[in-house]
Structure 1
Amino acid sequence: MPKLDPAPLLLATEWFNTPEALTLNDLRGKVIVIEAFQMLCEGCVSHSLPQARRVFETFSRDDVIVIGLHCVFENHTSQTSEALADFLREHRILFPVAVDTPGGQASLPKTMQSYGMQGTPTTVLIDRQGRRRAQHFGPVEDLRLGAELGTLLGERDSART
């Protein structure tokens, strides 16, 4: 099996639905699902965010952590923090959501860049040891995501044994 490197850091300017910023290092020992989205992305609203909410509601927080990553790379003036707060409330999104750090003029946000994301929605799976194990651009079928999560949950973490 090839060597797996640690997942890139989450570079966020703001957090919602959590009392403090989350770090991947602090979440070691858990499987992490990062759902990169934009409020104005139809695929995010219709598929990936409802799917992330189902994962959040299904799995124990002792095993799986879901993090939303709001990545604004277009329509900046309409995707403000206030609009995001309203959006999260309206769509009943209770899991933690980070706002990706802007990348500058006509550039992708910084976490999107470090993960090599092509756009939204993007789903990232990080194993218990903090390594990126899967990344999907576009909608992911529930069965595929469930199988990938099952695999990661079934792996033993050397820190837990």
Structure 2
Amino acid sequence: MIKGDQIPDWDIQAWINTETPLSLAELRGTVVVVHAFQMLCPGCVSHGIPQAKAIHQAFPPGRLQVVGLHAVFEHHAAMGETALRAFMHEYRIRFPVGIDRPDPRGNPIPMTMQSWRLQGTPTLIILDAEGRIRLHHFGQIDDLRVGAIIGQLLTEAASASP
């Protein structure tokens, strides 16, 4: 995926922390921060999840949406929906999380992870209000850099709205 491209919609098996399934098309007009993670990923637990939680708490609802993507590509038996729900409760994750749909052909890489060409977890993807990729980063990324990008995108979105 290239900066500036539109991202294909996710392929989600189940949603947690939302009454209705989310789609990227419905989120247009909003800056979207997607945190792809696995609950047994050390980098996700130590950095990615706390960063996503901080973003969710710091920015105004309606202008920015944090979405988790639980993309399991290893240890499948240990990271099912029941375990994820318990994990989210313990870590107090309040933003919506979609469980990436397993590949029906048996590929260990789930469907959204394949279509988005994710290298692994944690991955942070930030979309502008028009749904274009403005950041696609695998691994740990500095909070200040992320905040600056989000601030820029929120300013762009505010100046573009009538």
Q: TM-score range by the shorter chain?
A: over 0.9
Cα deviation for residue 130 of structure 1 reads 1.0
Instruction: Give percent identity, aligned residues only.
Output: 47
Q: Deviations over 1:36-74 (max 9, x none)?
A: 000100000110001000000010112110000000110
Q: CA 1:156–1:97 in structure 2 vs 1: closer, same or farther (change >3 Å)? A: closer
Structure 2 unmatched runs, 5+: none
* Alpha-carbon distance in 2 for matches of 1:16, 1:63: 21
- Runs ≥4 residues deviating over 4 A: none
Cα deviation for residue 105 of structure 1 reads 2.0
3-state SS of paired residue (2:93): coil
* Alpha-carbon distance in 2 for matches of 1:113, 1:96: 21
* Alpha-carbon distance in 1 for matches of 2:14, 2:158: 30
Q: Spell out the pairing of 1:1-161 with structure 2 (5 A cutoff).
A: 4-103=4-103, 104-156=105-157, 160-161=161-162
Cα deviation for residue 4 of structure 1 reads 3.4
The amino acid that maps onto 2:67 is: I
Q: CA 1:97–1:7 in structure 2 vs 1: closer, same or farther (change >3 Å)? A: same
| RMSD, aligned CA | 1.8
Q: Is the 8 A contact 2:74 2:108 kept in 1?
A: no
* Alpha-carbon distance in 2 for matches of 1:137, 1:5: 17
3-state SS of paired residue (1:155): helix
Once the two structures are overlaid, the 10-residue window that deviates more, 112-121 or 97-106, is: 97-106
**What is the TM-score normalised by the length of structure 1?**
0.94
* Alpha-carbon distance in 2 for matches of 1:157, 1:138: 30
Q: CA 1:39–1:156 in structure 2 vs 1: closer, same or farther (change >3 Å)? A: closer
3-state SS of paired residue (1:98): strand
Structure 1 unmatched runs, 5+: none
Q: Is the 8 A contact 1:29 1:157 kept in 2?
A: no
**What is the TM-score normalised by the length of structure 2?**
0.93
* Alpha-carbon distance in 2 for matches of 1:25, 1:146: 24
Cα deviation for residue 158 of structure 1 reads 8.4
Once the two structures are overlaid, the 10-residue window that deviates more, 22-31 or 3-12, is: 3-12
* Alpha-carbon distance in 2 for matches of 1:118, 1:69: 14
Number of residue pairs the alignment of both structures matches = 160
Q: Is the 8 A contact 2:3 2:135 kept in 1?
A: no
